[in-house]
Homo-oligomer: A and B are copies of this chain.
Amino acid sequence: MEQSRKRAKPGRNPGSGSRTSRPRQAEVAQLAGVSQATVSLVLSARSDGKAATISEETRQRVLDAARSLGYAHDPAARRLAAARNNLLGVFSFTATFPTDVQHSYYPFLVGVEQEAAARGYDLVLFTGSSSGGAGAAGPDALSRVRLADGCLFLGRHAPGAELKRLVADGFPVVHLGRREELEGLAWVGADYVSASRAVVEHLAALGHRRIVLVREADDAPASADRQRGFLEGLAAVGGEAGPGAVLRCADPAGAVTAERVRALVADGVTAFVAEETDTGAAWRALDAAVREAGLSCPGDVSLGLLGSPPPDLAAAPVPTGFDVPRHQLGAAAVRLLAALVAGEEAQEPLVVCEFRTGATAGPPGRRP
C-alpha cells in the first residue's frame, strides 16, 4: 500500500490530539462545520471581488480552522485541479543550478526573483538535467516544468522543438533573450542595437570617423544586434562603414594582434569597439593588442565595449560602453510571464541598456 506513506494511520481519529498526517481541506471543513467546497472557496479567495459568496463569519471560522490545523495547499493537487499553483518555473540549460554568483545567469535570477516575489509568485528552478537524469533523453526533458504555471527559459541553448511544443500546448513560456525564429514564443531581450549605436555616436561626437568593430564569429542574435547597431550608428554619423569596419574573427586572440592594430591605426582608424560575449574574448584580445602595441588609451586610440567587461577586467580603466540591465531584464521577463499566465496578451518591449561613459574614449589622437 503506497498510501501508508502519506497517511501514517489509515484509520485515524480526527478528534484526538496527536495528529500524524497533513490535513486536507476536508478536515478543515469538518472542524469548521462546513463543506470542503466552502473551504476551497475561502482559501483560494482570489482578490478578484468576484467571490462575495461566503459570509464573513463563515470565512473567519474556516480561516481559524485552517490555521489551527496548520493547513497548507497541496501544490500538486492544486495544479491538477486548477492549472494554477502560483509557481513560476525557471529553466536553465546549464548542467547545474546557476546559483554560483560567478555564473553569468546570476544577475538575471536576482531580477527574476525580486519581481516574482513582488508579484506574489514563488519560484521553482529547473536545470538541463546534465547527464543521465531521468528525463535527460526523451521529450520528457521539459515536462517537469508543467509543475509550474509557466516557465522562463534562460540561455540560447533552449531546444526549439521542446519550446515549440510547450507553446503549442498553450503552456505559458517566456524566453530570456531574443528568439524570433520561433513563431509564437514570447521573449524579452536587451536593446543591443540602440545601445551599440549610442556607443558609436558617442565616439563620433568625440571626433572619430574610422571605427572598427571586433566581434566573434558567433551567430547569436546578441552578436548580430550589436553589429547592426554599430553599422547603423556609423551610417548615421557619416562614418566610414566599408567592409573593413567589422573584424569578424573566430579566434580574437589570434586575429587581433598588436601588429594588426598598429596597421589599422596607421591606416587611419582611431577607435575600436568590441562586443561582449560570455568569455569576453573580443574585448580581452583588443585590450591586450592595444597595450602590446604600445598605444595609449584613450590618448592614441579610443576603445568601446558593447556590454560589460568580464569580472577580471572590471578594474582600472572602465571601458566606455553600456551596461546590460540584467536585473531589469529578469524582472521584465517575469512580468511578461505573469501576464501570459493570467491569460493576457501583454508584450514587453526591449529593455534599454544604459550608456556607460567610461574612461577609454577620448578625442582621436593626432596621428597622420
* Chain A residues near B (Cβ < 8 Å): 2-3, 5-6, 8, 20-22, 70, 72-77, 79-80, 82-87, 90, 92, 95-101, 104-106, 109-110, 113-114, 116-118, 120-127, 129-136, 138-140, 142-144, 146-147, 165, 168-170, 343
The chain B residue sitting closest to A74, CB to CB, is B146
Q: How many copies of the shown chain assemble into the complex?
A: 2
Give Cα A124 to B96, complex, Å. 11
Name the B residues within 8 Å of A2 (CB-CB).
Answer: 82-84
What B residues does A104 contact at CB under 8 A?
Answer: 99-101
Known contacts A2-B83, A129-B122, A169-B21; is A100 also within 8 Å of B106 by CB? Answer: yes
A76 x B147 contact (CB < 8 A): yes
Min CB gap A232→B, angstroms: 35
Question: Which residues of B sit under 8 angstroms from A122, Cβ to Cβ?
Answer: 126, 129, 133-135, 144
Are the C-beta atoms of B129 and A170 separated by less than 8 Å? no
- In the bound complex, residues from chain B placing their C-beta under 8 Å from that of A92 are 99
Whether B140 lies near A118 (C-beta < 8 A) is: no
Chain B residue nearest to A127 in the complex (CB): B123
Contact B113 A97 (CB under 8 A): yes
CB contact under 8 A between A170 and B99, given known A120-B133, A132-B117, A143-B75: no
Q: State whether B134 touches A343 (Cβ < 8 A).
A: no
The smallest C-beta distance from A272 to any residue of chain B, in angstroms, reads: 30
* 12 additional A-B residue pairs with CB within 8 Å, beyond A74-B146, A85-B144, A96-B110: A5-B170, A6-B83, A22-B169, A72-B140, A76-B80, A98-B99, A117-B132, A120-B133, A122-B144, A123-B127, A123-B133, A124-B144
